[in-house]
A and B are shown apart, each in its own frame.
Chain A
Amino acid sequence: MTARNPVRAWLGRDINVLLLAGAIGLAAWPFFAGDAYSLRLLTVAGIYALAAIGYQFVFGHAGALSLAQGAFFGFGAYVAGILSVRMGAGFEVTFPAAIAASTVLAALVALPVLRLQSHYFALATLGIGQVVLLVAVNWESVTGGANGIPNVPALSLLGATVGRGWPMLLLVWSLVAIGALIARRLTGGLTGAALRLMREQPMAAEAAGIDIRGVRFAAFLLSALYGGAAGALQVHTVRVVSPEVLEFPVMVMLLAIAVIGGRTSVAGAILGAVLLVHLPEWFRPLERYYLMAYGLALLAMIVAAPWGLIGLLRHVRQRWLPEPEPPPPVAGPMPVGRPPARLEITGLTRRFGGIRAVDGIDLVVTPGESVGIVGANGSGKTTLLNMIAGAEKPDSGRIGWAQADIAGLPPYRIARAGIARTFQTLKLVDGTTALDNVAAASWHEFGGPGRDAARAAAMALLQKLDLAETAWKPCGALPPGLRRRVEIARALIGGPALLLLDEPAAGLTAAERDSLAGTLAALNNDGTTVVVVEHDLAFLEKFVARIVCLDQGRIIADGAPADVRADPGVVAAWLGQPLDEGGGHG
C-alpha cells in the first residue's frame, strides 16, 4: 500500500481546495479586470483585510467585542499622514511609526478597559474611538481639524515611489500575506484550541492554567498593531486623512467583515473584506437605494451563514462531502505528575452580603488522600471548592499548598501550581473534539507548536479513561457520562497533585456512576489526591476514605464515611433520617 501524496491529502482536507481556488481566482482577477478602478478596489480590500485579520485577534479569538479597531485604524492613518505631509517621511518611517503609535495607544487604554466585561467593554472601547475622533476634529493645528490633511503623497519606500495601481496592490497584498501567515502562526495549532476554550468556557480555561487577562491584553495589542499597519496603507491610498477615517462606519465595516467572513478564520477576513468592499460598488448604480440593497444582502448573508461564509463553506463540505474520520493519534506518555503536596486550610471565610457561605473552615488534606465533601444545598461546598481553585476570593483565612499561601491567587496560577478541577455544570467546548478539548488544556505547557505532543498526551489520558473511541467526536455529541470523563481527562492533562471535582455524578445513570467511581478510585490509587463535592453518599463511599460534612459554612463532621453517616449532627442538618444501606441522598 503506497503512502498518500501529501499535496492531495492537504487538498482533500477541510475546504483547502476551495481556499486555494479562491486565492488563485483573487490573484488572477486583476489581470482580467485590469483597470485602475478594479485595482483600487482590490487594494482597498487588502487594507481592510489586514485590519480585519487584526480585529479577529480580539473579537474572534479572545471573544471580546472591542469597538476600538476603527480608532486604531484611523489613528495609524493620522500618524502616517502627519509624518508624511509635515516631515516628508517615507513609508519606512510612517509604517512602523503608525504600528507603534496604535499599539502604544492600545497598551495605554488596555489597563482600565480590559478589566471590563461584555457590553461594558464594548462601550468603553467605543469611547476610545470617540475621544480620538474629538481630538482629530478639534486639534486643528496638528490634525487639520475637520478638513483633515490633504495632499498626502503617494507611498514612498526608501526613496522609490510606489505608485497606485499594480505597485500599490502588490505591496498591500504582500503585507496582507505576511500578516495572514503571522496570524495563522499565532492562532493555529494548539493555540487555536486553547483560544476557543478561553472564548467559550473562560472558567475552564483559567482552571487549565490559561491567563485569560494576559491573552486578552496580547490580543488587544495585536489587533491595534494590525489596525495601525492598515491605517498607514489607507492614508497613502486615499491621499487625504480626515476625521471620516475615525468615524463609526469604519468600525462597522470591520465588524461586518469579521462577522460575515468568519470570526476566527484568516481566509474569512480576506473573503469578507473582498466581498464587503465590492458589494456597495456593485450596488452603487442604484443611487440612493443602494444602501437598502446592501443592507438586505448583508442580512441575507448573516441569516444564511451565521458562522460566517467560511463556516458556511465548511458546513456545505461536511454535508455534501463528509471527510472520513482520521485514525486516532498514537498515544504518548502519560503527563508527568506534580510532586505531592499537603492542602492546609486555616480560618477560611467567605461572605455574600450578610450570609457567611464559608465560616472559618480549618481543613487538612494529606497527599494521596481521597476526601468527599457533603452537605445540604447552600452549606458552602462549592464556595469552598471555588476558593481552593481560585474562582472565589476568600475574605479571610489561609490556603496552604506546597509551602505557599495560594488564597486569592488567580485560578490560572493555582492550576499551574498543580491543582486541577472539574465543574458542577460541564464546561466543555461542544463543537471541539474530545481529543482537542483535553489537549487544549495543556497549552501553557506545550505552546502553540506543540499540538502533536499535546494530542499524544491527551490520547494517553483518553485511553486510560476508556475514551479512545471518542477522540475525534465532538463533545456535544457525547452522552453525559462520557462528557464527565472527558472533563476529568482535561483536568488531568497537567498532571495535577490535587484534583477537585464538583458534583461529578450529577445527571449520570447508575452504570455511569459506577464507572466514574471506578475511574476516580484508580486515579487515587495512582497517587492523585482527590477532593469531591457530592450529594450522593453511596457514590462517594465507593472510593473515598474520608468524608467532611458542612452545614452553614462550617464543618460539622469529619471522618470515615460510616462515622459521618451515623453522626447525629449530620442526620439533623442534612440527611434528615438514617439511610438504608446503599441508598443515596441528594
Chain B
Amino acid sequence: MKLRIFITAFAAFLSLMLLQGDALAEVPNFPVLVPLTGFLSLEGTSQRNGAVMALDEDKSVAYGVFDTATSPEVAVNAMERALRDRIHTGVIIGPILGTQMLAMLPLAEEYQVPLVTISGTAKLTEMGNPWIFRFFPGDAVTKVAHARYAVEELGRRRPAILYQTTAYGQSGRGHLETTFRSLGAVPVYQEGLDVSVRDVTAALAKAMAAKPDVLVLHLHSGPTALLVRQARAQGIDLPIVAGSAMHQPTTAALLEPSELRDVCAETGSSPISGGSPEMERFTADYREKFGSDPDAFALAQYDATRMLLVARHTGPTGGAPLRDWLASHEFRGLAMTYKSDGKGNMAHDAVIVCYDGSTRTPHIAMRYKGVDLAR
C-alpha cells in the first residue's frame, strides 16, 4: 500500500514537473535571483522585496524570483534557467552574495547580459568586467565611512576588528585595516568569526585583553546581533561601530533597545530613519506590502530596479544597449544619486546610523558623499 501511494504520488509529481515551464511572456523579463534561504536569507529577502516592489509598481515587465541559496553552483543554475528566454531577458537582478556574483560574471559576459547587484564584495568591480553594476556602496565607500566615523567623530584610536570569515568579511576587513592605518589608528586586535559560531564570548575576551577603545564589527546580520548582545551581557560598554547588517530592522529586532545604546552602523541608507517625504512614502508602502520594515538593501534594490525600468521606458531593455545606458546615465534614487565610476560602481555615498538606547529606530548621525569618487 505504502509503495503504491509513493509510486502514484511520484508519477503525478513528475508529470507536473514535465508540464511545468517558464511562461514565455511577450514583455521584457527581469529575473530576480536572490538568496532566500541560508545565512543571507534576511538580506536576500530585502533584495527580493525591493525589486518586487519596483516591478509591481511599474507593471510593464514580467519577473520571476529564484532562490540562489548560498552556493555559486545554484546561482549559476538559476542564471541559466533565467536566460532560457533569451529574447525577453536582457538583464539579471543578481544576488547579494559575492561568490555567487563572481561565478555569474563569466556567464554574463558570454551571454552579454548586464548583472545588477547590491553585493558589497570589492572584487566584483575590480575585474574589468563591463557587465556588472553595483547599486550598493562597496567596501571602498562604506568601510572608509566606517573607519572615519570611529576615528574622526568618536575620537577612537585603538579599534578591535571582528569580521566574518566569508568573502564579505575578508574583503571588508582589508579595507577597514587600510583606512584605520591611514588615519593613524592601528587596529589592536583582529579576529575572523565563522558564520556558524554561536558563542563569541571567547573572541570578546581576547579582544578586550588588547585594551581597545572601540569595537568595530564587520559581520552578517545574525552574528552581529549575537555579538552585540553578548558584549553587553559581559558588561562591555565600549562604543560599537558595526557593518551594514546592524542598520537592518530585522537585526535590531533581535536586540533590546537598551543593548543598542552606543551602537552605530555604516550603510548606504536607512529608510526607516526618514529624511524626505519620498522616503517616508516608500517606507509606508513597503510596510503595507510586506508587513516589515525596509532596510538599505531593499531600498538599494528598489532604486536599482527603478533605474532599469527607466531604461526600459526610454529604449534599451537588455544586452549591450542597456549596459551602455547604465554606464553613461545618472539616476536620482531615493537613497542617493547613482552614477557609474567606469567600473560599474553606481553608489558612492554612505551614512552612519546610531541607536540612542531607547528605540530600535536609528537616526542618521553622519553622511559621507562621493567617498570613492573624491579620492
Contact = CB atoms under 8 A, between A and B. Distances in A.
Contact of A240 (B72, B74, B78, B166): B72
Nearest to B128: A151
Interface stretch (B102-110, B265-273, B322-330): B102-110
A242 B73 CA distance: 10
Contacts of A405: none
5 contacts: A137-B192, A146-B99, A150-B127, A281-B81, A300-B9
Contacts of B99: 146-148, 240, 242-244
B70 A37 contact: no
Nearest to A284: B66
B250 interface: no
Contact of A288 (B67, B83, B105, B107): B67
B113 interface: no
Interface string A219-243: 0000000000000001001111011
A363 B92 CA distance: 83
Contacts of B121: 147
A297 B127 CA distance: 41
Given A40-B80, A147-B167, A300-B6, A288 B64 contact: no
Contacts of B105: 150-151
A92 interface: no
Interface centre among B37, B64, B80 (most CB of A within 10 A): B80
Nearest to B3: A304
A327 interface: no
Interface in B67-91: 67, 70-74, 76-78, 80-81, 83-84
A142 to B, nearest CB: 14
Interface of B: 2-3, 6, 9-10, 13, 17, 20, 36-37, 41, 45, 64-67, 70-74, 76-78, 80-81, 83-84, 98-99, 102-103, 105-107, 121, 123, 127, 165-171, 192
A121 interface: no
A337 to B, nearest CB: 49
Contact of B77 (A44, A137, A290, A316): A44
B3 A316 contact: yes
A445 interface: no
Interface string A288-331: 10110000010011011100000010011000000000000000
Contacts of B45: 288
Interface of A: 35-37, 40-41, 44, 137-138, 140, 145-148, 150-151, 234, 237-240, 242-245, 247, 249, 280-282, 284-285, 287-288, 290-291, 297, 300-301, 303-305, 312, 315-316
Given A238-B72, A244-B73, 11 more contacts: A138-B192, A140-B170, A146-B99, A146-B167, A147-B98, A147-B170, A240-B99, A282-B20, A284-B81, A285-B66, A316-B3
Contacts of B165: 137-138, 146
A249 B166 CA distance: 16
Interface centre among B13, B45, B73 (most CB of A within 10 A): B73
Nearest to B129: A151
A35 B73 CA distance: 18
A167 to B, nearest CB: 14
A304 B67 contact: no
A37 B17 contact: no
A146 B165 CA distance: 7
B167 A145 contact: yes
A150 B77 contact: no
A37 B170 contact: no
Interface centre among B6, B45, B168 (most CB of A within 10 A): B6
A150 B67 contact: no
Contact of A37 (B36, B37, B81): B81
A227 to B, nearest CB: 16
B170 A288 contact: no
A287 B170 contact: no
Pairs A-B, 10 closest by C-beta atoms:
A304-B6, A150-B102, A240-B103, A37-B80, A242-B99, A147-B167, A146-B167, A288-B36, A282-B17, A244-B71
B77 A36 contact: no
A40 B71 CA distance: 16
Contact of B84 (A35, A138, A146): A35
Contacts of B74: 280
B233 to A, nearest CB: 28
